[in-house]
Amino acid sequence: MTQSQQFPDDAIEFRFVLASGPGGQHVNKTSTAVELRADVERLRLPTRTLTRLYEQQANRINKEGTLVIQASQFRSQLKNRADALTRLRRMIAEAGKRAKVRIPTKPSKNAQRKRLDSKRKRGDVKSQRKRPDP
């Protein structure tokens, strides 16, 4: 999903709440923090991307299938709204990436032998520290 791509109007809802933090009296009077609520099913995402989004953002998606993002980094409501949208786009882009398939590997015989030799050598050093038998 590109930065310029828009989300369906019925899929996203913004709520503005009082923010904590710096701002003096202004912070107590205005609702600058943004809570973005996106209905994941209505975002019209490919099935694979949707599945990965549910896996990656399990803590942010509630039982109704709503992804909740809170943005209160800036003092401006407009900037916080843009920040929330950017974070949503980033999450969707991350979910859209194909996961790397892990190819299991096995250490070579020489590497195994070297590892065991070094362990044996270290064990010998430690055994030399013991008190000798009478």
Q: Report the pLDDT averaged over residues 110-119.
A: 97
pTM over 0.85: no
Q: Which domains are seen in the chain, by residue range?
A: 1-123 (3.30.160.20)
The CA-atom distances, in angstroms, between 98 and each of 42, 91, 95, 105 are 22, 13, 8, 21
The CA-atom distances, in angstroms, between 65 and each of 35, 49, 60, 90, 107 are 15, 15, 10, 18, 44
48-104 per-position pLDDT tens digit: 999 999 999 889 999 998 999 999 888 888 999 999 999 999 999 999 998 889 999
Token pair, residue 98, equals: 């194909």
What contacts 27, CB < 8 A, 6 or more positions away? 18, 19, 20, 21, 75
In this prediction, residue 19 carries a pLDDT of 78
Is it the case that residue 119 has pLDDT exceeding 60?
yes
In this prediction, residue 84 carries a pLDDT of 93
Q: Which residue has the tokens 């809170």?
A: 70
Is it the case that residue 1 has pLDDT exceeding 50?
no
The CA-atom distances, in angstroms, between 68 and each of 19, 64, 90, 104, 108 are 16, 11, 14, 37, 48
In this prediction, residue 5 carries a pLDDT of 61
